[in-house]
Structure 1
Amino acid sequence: MNDKLDPSADLADQLHQLLQDAPAGIGEYQLIQQLKERHCTHIPHLPLTDKLVLFRTHFLVFNALYRLRERLWGERLGFVQISPLCIQLLPYRAGSAGLSEHDPLRDYYLDLSQLSDTDEQDVQELLVSFWKRMQGGEEKRAALELFELNDSQQVLNIGLIKHRYRQLVSLHHPDRGGSTERLQSINKAMEILERYYD
């Protein structure tokens, strides 16, 4: 029987088949839709508009993807590159970093207590935290632009940022003909960058 049509096949096996059918990679949402079309019994067949349903569906798919990654890597059959925007089955390459690096996301998704212990309030907090980080990323970009470090070829660290901060303060200080508003923007940008680099 064809694995991708067999509802009793393990979710990791079904995902393996779908990834083989999409050599250029596929997004998480498309994977979920294809699983639903194939009447996969391992994921909830409920609208993804409910936050808890969305979380549980996402968790089950990512748990299976990480299990598949470990199995294929262990058997030297391939490597599953995992991100929400593009999940791709890659050939096995001996000697590559592969699974040797510590991956906190792997630990999270392979811990089934995360699925059973997460309620609607937890999901709401996860979403708020995600959007704060996204917004923070915008703040960081804006601060780096203000410091003219957004296109820097140097490795950014707190020492380099503080050096640039001192240059800008000296240049834009009101006692030296600069504006108070500009100095306040520089100080705010420094506060933001300290959160990321200190």
Structure 2
Amino acid sequence: MNTLIDNPKAMASGYLAMAQMFSYPDADAWRRLTENGLVDPALGRETLEAEYLGLFEMGGGTSTMSLYEGQNRPERGRDGILQELLRFYEFFDVHLNQDEREYPDHLVTELEFLAWLCLQEHAALRDGRDAEPFQNAARDFLVRHLAAWLPDFRQRLEATETTYAQYGPTLGELVETHRSRLGDQPQKSREMQ
């Protein structure tokens, strides 16, 4: 992941790959997963779909692992999390896909938003514009949302005997690499110290 540290476009690609991995593996998603080398075609779409449903939708003999932040952080209250996420998205005029009907706190939605922020940062840097607003937003979003619930989610995911277990470390490393790259506080605050 070291190549990601100074490359927001590569970071965005990492987030989008993870978003694909944690999307429902319908025929189109399966095609993208196999074409991008994220899943071994020998596994079979039906097997991955059964694992997805068993792990994230029905529980498969164990408790279901939710892909929703609000369900992974009940102490915060889902309504408050949803409202805060919508404010993040609205601030940047990012709209959820109405066809997909996913909630703002779905793992895939959060990953796609972080990818979008990384792409905006990349474009700003490429065009000689200020990238700091996108860096600050990504830092805040990670701290307040994805990085806040990912460790517990990841621990439970890696304890499963599913294909998805192998993606926990990759997702965790991606988030930690991004956090490390962004630092703990905004650039201007660090300069004042």
The answer to whether TM tops 0.5 is: no
The structure with the greater share of residues assigned to helix is 2
Greater RCO, 1 or 2 (C-alpha within 8 Å, sep 6+) = 2
TM-score (norm 2): 0.27
TM-score (norm 1): 0.27
